[in-house]
Amino acid sequence: MSSVKKKKDFHITIDEELCKGCSICVSICPTKTLSISKDPNKKGYYSAIQHSPEDCIGCNKCALMCPEVSIRVFMGVPLNEGIS
């Protein structure tokens, strides 16, 4: 009998206006789910973005290493989704 583990859903929020694009989060992410945006924010920085949210394992390394504290990691459905 095989057991199948259901992958937990994690959600990352990045305050793109607070992010300065240092890319520490991009380099620390073990699943490479983060990258740097091609579009600058209002301050001219190229902020981090999550390009493949389904790959996030919720390790929280990105949030812990962010010097601007612009990243938050949540388990489950994001607060703004699923509301009608």
Cβ atoms 60, 73 nearer than 8 A: yes
For the entire predicted model, the pTM comes to: 0.79
Closest to 24 (Cα-Cα) out of 41, 7, 3, 48 = 48
Average pLDDT of 33-59?
94
**Residue 36 pLDDT more than 90?**
yes
pLDDT digits (tens, 9 = 90+) for 58-76: 999 999 999 999 999 998 7
> Which residues is 72 bridged to in the sheet?
13
Cβ atoms 84, 37 nearer than 8 A: no
What CA–CA distance (Å, rounded) separates 24 from 14?
Answer: 13
**Residue 54 pLDDT more than 70?**
yes
pLDDT digits (tens, 9 = 90+) for 12-33: 999 999 999 999 999 999 999 9
Task: List the domains of the chain with CATH numbers.
Answer: 20-73 (3.30.70.20)
